[in-house]
Amino acid sequence: MSSTSQKHKDFVAEPMGEKSVMALAGIGEVLGRRLEEKGFDKAYVVLGQFLVLKKDEELFREWLKDTSGANSKQQGDCYGCLKEWCDSFL
């Protein structure tokens, strides 16, 4: 597997609480703003979507692409970040 970024490590190290959606790995300013416009302004809202898709990678990646225009790497980073967070805290 590819090495995880610092952002990923920071996110999965603690409960997400009220962290902004831009705290997610793979989600920067541009994608974060697009997600916020769609109503996904906090990381936990994206987590909600992730869970309602039953943590399915393919569906989540597609949803993320449709909603924010994330490319493949960004999708993967975000998915991995959320998955690992769920493994630790959910």
Partner 1 sequence: MVEPGFLTDDQLKAKLLQYGVKAGPIVATTRVLYEKKLKRLLEGSAQTTQHKVNGTGDAGLYSDCEEEDGMEEDEEKDSESALPLSESNSLAETTKPESREPVSDVLSEMFPNAEKTPTGIFATKRRSIKGAAGRPVQFKYPEMLPLSPTTLERQEIQQRRVPLWVQLVVFLLVLSLLYLIYCSMDEPLSSPVSALLGGLEEAAHICSSYATDIIS
Give contact residues for partner 1 (rule: CB under 8 A).
Answer: 5, 7, 25-31, 34, 37-40, 49, 52-54, 56-59, 61-63, 65-74, 76-77
- Gap between the Cα atoms of 75 and 58, Å rounded: 10
Q: How far is the CB of 88 from partner 1 (least distance, A)?
A: 17
First-residue to last-residue Cα distance in the chain = 23
Q: Are 25 and 4 in contact (CB under 8 A)?
A: yes
Question: Can you tell me whether residue 68 is helix, strand or coil?
Answer: helix
Cβ nearer to partner 1, comparing 16 with 26: 26
Cβ nearer to partner 1, comparing 8 with 16: 8
- Gap between the Cα atoms of 87 and 84, Å rounded: 5
Q: How far is the CB of 40 from partner 1 (least distance, A)?
A: 8
Cβ nearer to partner 1, comparing 16 with 64: 64
- Gap between the Cα atoms of 18 and 44, Å rounded: 7
Q: How far is the CB of 75 from partner 1 (least distance, A)?
A: 9
